[in-house]
């Protein structure tokens, strides 16, 4: 395909591809296979389209698809994905610290900016920000090289009544939840204790930095905690 230079550049970063890689990386977290269905769901596209694209990405050597099982990123794919997360989180730092924007906007804008940052730009940004290790939501920023530091975390939803911890990060795949938690001043570093859990694994009453709050289980699943005390998960 012979095509104009300028217009070609528009598609250089292949945003669609990047969205897939990022999504897969976010879902897989623990190295397990990611069902194509989940990808489709998260991207709000049909399973047929997702399936098609998965094939394309496999052809490009970015992932491996085990039919009826799921998908796993190759090293190449993982590198790409981490690059995107890196860009995303660095931009989040900038948007938060320098522009003072609220979490929701920070996330949404970063979702756009992550696709238009070449390494030179990203690295310059990194330096400008003082090489931060975590995004405003507490997620680690993948380094240019080397392995992403993994921290031991427990979803708030797994804590039992009386257990205490400190918020390490909020899983940021979902923009909505960030808005919700931003408004409730739930931040990395917040001290939290479960006061009560409603029947049927229902909403949690928690003490968050001394403030009484009620959080649904779904929300609690997205808040990752470092246990304090010697308390074991129930």
Q: Taking CB within 5 to 8 Å according to partner kind, which of DNA, a second copy, none is near residue 228? A: none
95 binds a second copy (CB under 8 A): yes
Q: Of 12, 32, 46, 198, which one interacts with DNA (CB under 7 A)?
A: 46
**Partners of 226 in beta bridges:** 166
Are 63 and 24 in contact, with CB atoms under 8 Å apart? yes
Report the site for a second copy in 105-134 (rule: CB under 8 A): 105, 109, 111-113, 115-118, 120-121, 124-125, 127-128
Q: Please state, in angstroms and rounded to a whole number, the distance separating the CA atoms of residues 220 and 224.
A: 8
Q: Taking CB within 5 to 8 Å according to partner kind, which of DNA, a second copy, none is near residue 98? A: a second copy
* Segment near DNA (CB under 7 A); pick from 2-10, 99-107, 156-164, 210-218: 2-10
Beta carbon of residue 184, minimum distance to DNA (angstroms, whole number):
33
231 binds a second copy (CB under 8 A): no
144 binds a second copy (CB under 8 A): no
62 binds DNA (CB under 7 A): no
Report the site for DNA in 13-32 (rule: CB under 7 A): 14, 16-17
Q: Please state, in angstroms and rounded to a whole number, the distance separating the CA atoms of residues 55 and 154.
A: 34
Coil, helix or strand at residue 173: coil
Q: Please state, in angstroms and rounded to a whole number, the distance separating the CA atoms of residues 15 and 24.
A: 14
Q: Please state, in angstroms and rounded to a whole number, the distance separating the CA atoms of residues 64 and 74.
A: 7
Q: Please state, in angstroms and rounded to a whole number, the distance separating the CA atoms of residues 116 and 128.
A: 18
Task: Go through 92-104 and write b for each residue having 16 or more CB atoms within 10 A of its CB, e for each that does not.
Answer: bbbbbeeeebebb
68 binds DNA (CB under 7 A): yes
The residues that touch a second copy, with contacts defined as CB under 8 A, are 3-7, 9-10, 15-16, 19, 42-45, 95, 98-101, 105, 109, 111-113, 115-118, 120-121, 124-125, 127-128
């Amino acid at each position: 395909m012979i095509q104009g230079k300028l217009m070609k550049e528009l598609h250089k970063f292949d945003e669609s591809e990047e969205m897939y890689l990022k999504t897969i990386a976010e879902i897989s977290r623990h190295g397990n296979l990611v069902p194509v269905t989940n990808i489709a769901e998260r991207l709000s596209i049909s399973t047929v389209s997702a399936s098609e694209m998965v094939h394309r990405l496999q052809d490009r050597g970015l992932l491996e698809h085990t039919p009826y099982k799921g998908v796993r990123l190759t090293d190449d794919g993982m590198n790409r994905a981490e690059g995107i997360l890196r860009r995303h989180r660095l931009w989040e730092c900038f948007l938060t610290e320098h522009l003072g924007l609220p979490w929701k906007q920070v996330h949404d804008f970063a979702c756009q900016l992550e696709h238009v940052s070449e390494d030179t730009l990203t690295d310059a940004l990194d330096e400008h920000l003082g090489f931060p290790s975590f995004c405003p939501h507490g997620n680690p920023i993948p380094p240019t090289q080397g392995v992403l530091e993994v921290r031991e975390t427990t979803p708030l939803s797994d804590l039992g009544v009386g257990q205490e911890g400190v918020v390490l990060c909020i899983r940021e795949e979902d923009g909505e939840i960030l808005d919700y938690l931003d408004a409730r001043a739930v931040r990395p570093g917040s001290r939290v204790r479960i006061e009560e859990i409603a029947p049927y694994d229902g909403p949690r009453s928690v003490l968050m930095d001394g403030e009484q709050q009620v959080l649904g289980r779904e929300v609690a699943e997205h808040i990752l905690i470092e246990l304090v005390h010697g308390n074991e998960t129930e």
